[in-house]
Amino acid sequence: MGKVSALVKIAVTAGPAVWEAVRRMGPMLTRMREENPEIYYLVSQQVTRMANARQENRGEEGLRRRIGVLRDQVAYLISSADDDAERHRAEDWRRQLDKVEASLPLLGAMSRHAAAKESKHVDERIDALSAQILSAYVDEQREDHQLEP
């Protein structure tokens, strides 16, 4: 489980909900790494992008970069949806990301204390969406490449 444990360490930087999602998917990720390393690489690349976006920039720009990474995953989910339920779920995530991103300019109009509090709330919302979207992304990659659950 060496490389998967390294991925879990990277996921810690991406946020607590992402870390939990990667930890929970550990056995499946281990099988994925053994059976189809290319797909495992795609997943690990997404987790790394999430971690880098969270770590590199704080404030509004950092939140935008995190949303951008999630948008890429949602775009994949929409394009590879097998049915209307999957497509609607991915489109709902896209709308939620739009709403979060639309709220970011308001941070600049708030007092420093209020902006910090709201920024923390937005960060937590992005973290929760990150875990949901990443889990769906991994499942869709697994399905698209016909790997066993």
Q: What's the rounded mean pLDDT across residues 59-66?
A: 90
State yes or no: pLDDT of 84 exceeds 80.
yes
Question: What is the pTM (predicted TM-score) of this model?
Answer: 0.91
How confident is the model over 11-40, as pLDDT tens digits? 999 989 999 999 999 888 988 899 889 999
Average pLDDT for the chain: 91
Could you tell me the maximum CA-CA distance found in the chain, to the nearest angstrom? 52
State yes or no: pLDDT of 110 exceeds 60.
yes
Helix (H) or strand (E) holding 141: helix 112-144
Whole-number pLDDT of residue 1: 44
